[in-house]
Amino acid sequence: MNSTNTAYRQNYYKSLHGFALVTAIVAVGLIVAGALVTSTKSGDAVPDWPLSYGTLAPTMIGGILYEHSHRLIAGLTGILITILAIWLWRKYPNQKLRWLGVAAFLAVVFQAVLGGLRVLVVSTASVQNAAVSVTGISSIETNRLIVAIIHGCLAQSILALLFAIVLFTSRSWLQERVTEFPGNPPRQLRGLSIILLSVVFGQLILGAVVRHTGAGLSIPDFPLAFGGLIPPFGNLPVNPYMPHPFSYHEYVVKVAVHFAHRLVGFSIVAFIVYLFVKYRSLPRLGKYVKILTGLIVVQIFLGGLNIWTHISILSTVLHVVTGSLILAGSVILVLWTGRSIKESVLQKEPVR
């Protein structure tokens, strides 16, 4: 018997897998809460941290409702990730999976610190001075934006980590035999999936910049840009949706960032269409490609809906959450592709 056929036949713990899935779902809820905070401009509604106006139970009105709810869900997510990391360390012999749990724990601790720093850098002089010293940037608003963008991107990364843990603890990953490729595995699929993941993460960074700099309506139409394929950067028209006052240079920068976000989005569409046409017939990877294709098509529509509704709260939140799910799906595609190719090669080795 080929010993490699049992390489992935490991113990499956249903309760642990279920807990990992619940943790990932709660983390999605946290991203929803964070998107609501940004969309309702409630980030500065509470000036202190980790308490809210000196208490764990402030009056839940206005922006306090969104900001404090976000903190409560963040606390719950942190507790769940801590339990998950301990559980993985005690239960699983797989060192990589153990350290993945540790990475998720450390990331959520750092995320909490960033969340507090995002608040205190606006409201506390000592934190402002420290931020200026570290970054060398005198503008408090710029420091706030830097922290907010890193905070948003790290949230997406944590969600991707959790979905990876969900996959690694699943019965299909631990016990099912992989039969994706009847012939030689298409090794280029591994590289293509990694490129897709990289571009998706870069797009999420651009999206965070667009969202936190208020550039969402710097291009007021969609799918065109000021009625054309490329914005007229040398002569941008008056845009009533831009916040005043602003310089023309700032206007150009925001239009450029927004347009870059669109270009990367359309490139992701082209990429996933190629993967769909070429690999949709594969048993499991084809299913993941189809799911990603659907999510990306929805995401493009939501991007347009943001423009058409002038950045409505609902469309913005859905756009952020769908982007998170696309990242998580891209991570799963990379992992399962690597696993499929590896086991396909092992199964073709001669019996010893």
User: Are residues 235 and 344 part of one domain?
Assistant: yes
**With bands split at pLDDT 50, 70 and 90, how would you rate the model's confidence at 189?**
confident
User: Are residues 151 and 202 part of one domain?
Assistant: no
Using the CB atoms, write b or e for 84-121: b if 16+ within 10 Å. Answer: bbebbeebbeeeebbebbebbbebbeebbebbbbbbbb
End-of-domain residue from the set 143, 176, 209: 176
Residue 223: domain span? 181-352
In-domain check, residue 274: yes
In-domain check, residue 5: no
Q: Using one digit for the tens of pLDDT, what is the confidence trace for 274-296?
A: 999 998 888 888 899 999 999 99
Size of the chain in residues: 352
Q: Using one digit for the tens of pLDDT, what is the confidence trace for 158-186?
A: 999 999 999 999 988 887 776 677 667 67
Measured CA to CA, the distance from residue 31 to residue 108 in angstroms comes to: 13
Alpha carbon distances (Å) from 136 to 123, 127, 143: 19, 14, 9
pLDDT of 154 reads 94
Tell me what the mean pLDDT of segment 329-333 comes to. Answer: 95
pLDDT of 44 reads 87
In-domain check, residue 151: yes
User: Are residues 286 and 197 part of one domain?
Assistant: yes
pLDDT of 345 reads 61
User: Are residues 162 and 30 part of one domain?
Assistant: yes
pLDDT of 5 reads 44
User: Are residues 84 and 196 part of one domain?
Assistant: no
Measured CA to CA, the distance from residue 281 to residue 266 in angstroms comes to: 24
In-domain check, residue 243: yes
User: Are residues 165 and 25 part of one domain?
Assistant: yes
User: Are residues 293 and 151 part of one domain?
Assistant: no
End-of-domain residue from the set 145, 176, 207: 176
Percent of the chain predicted with pLDDT > 90: 67
pLDDT of 349 reads 55
Q: How many CB atoms lie within 10 A of CB 243?
A: 12
User: Are residues 343 and 217 part of one domain?
Assistant: yes
pLDDT of 166 reads 96
| Structural domain count of the chain | 2
User: Are residues 187 and 166 part of one domain?
Assistant: no
Alpha carbon distances (Å) from 49 to 34, 35, 71: 16, 19, 10
End-of-domain residue from the set 133, 153, 176: 176
* pLDDT tops 50 at residue 73: yes
In-domain check, residue 2: no
Tell me what the mean pLDDT of segment 59-79 comes to. Answer: 95
**CA geometry: angle 116, 122, 125, nearest 5 deg:** 100
pLDDT of 2 reads 44
Q: Using one digit for the tens of pLDDT, what is the confidence trace for 249-273?
A: 889 999 999 999 999 999 999 999 9
pTM as predicted? 0.89
**With bands split at pLDDT 50, 70 and 90, how would you rate the model's confidence at 9?**
low
Tell me what the mean pLDDT of segment 98-110 comes to. Answer: 95
Instruction: Give the CA dihedral 25, 26, 31, 34, nearest 10 degrees.
Output: 160
Q: Using one digit for the tens of pLDDT, what is the confidence trace for 106-133?
A: 999 999 999 999 999 988 888 888 888 8
Q: Which two tokens stand for residue 200?
A: 């998706």
**Which phi and psi (to 5°) does residue 225 adopt?**
-125, 105
Measured CA to CA, the distance from residue 33 to residue 147 in angstroms comes to: 18
Closest CA to 62 of 50, 44, 49, 76: 44
Residue 12 bridge partners (DSSP): none
With tokens 């189809």, the residue in question is 290
